[in-house]
Amino acid sequence: MNNKTKREKNMKIAYLGGFKDGEVLTVPIDHGDPLQLNWLIQHEDIEKAEQDLTDHSQRDFAVTLKKCVVNYHLMMLKKSKETRFFYVEEGLPREKVSEQMNQHWNKSDTVGFDFE
């Protein structure tokens, strides 16, 4: 293999909470190039918007359609002295974050260790 050939790898970051719970974002990384991650990712919940429309369609009044956007914040979570990135739904209670983190721990890549 040529030394000048860049080797590509992917970093996996799992989502916690919301309609994307347990899904994995795969971020391509090039060795030698800095990795930039978004601190906030917004996703439109199409199913929620369609459900809201269905719920109102049986009534005799006008419906104002609005986007159902879910915000996910990038967090570094630690478990057993190991650190991994997760995108966590905005407003998810701490207990649920812990529960979902334990459930989806192996879906995210390790980014660090605590040796203390």
Q: So what's the pLDDT on residue 7?
A: 58
Give the three-state DSSP class for 37.
coil
**pLDDT tens profile 55-101:** 555 555 555 556 688 999 999 999 999 999 999 999 999 999 999 99
Q: So what's the pLDDT on residue 33?
A: 78
Q: So what's the pLDDT on residue 32?
A: 74
Q: So what's the pLDDT on residue 51?
A: 56
Find tokens 């570094």 and name the residue.
Answer: 76
pTM: 0.76
Angstrom distance (rounded) from CA 52 to CA 31:
45
**pLDDT tens profile 16-67:** 999 999 999 999 988 777 888 999 999 887 766 555 555 555 555 555 556 6
Smallest CA-to-CA distance from 44 within 73, 67, 27, 10 is with 67
Query: What is the radius of gyration, based on Cα positions, of the chain?
Result: 19
Give the three-state DSSP class for 111.
strand
CA 64 from chain center: how many Å? Answer: 29
Smallest CA-to-CA distance from 72 within 56, 85, 61, 63 is with 85
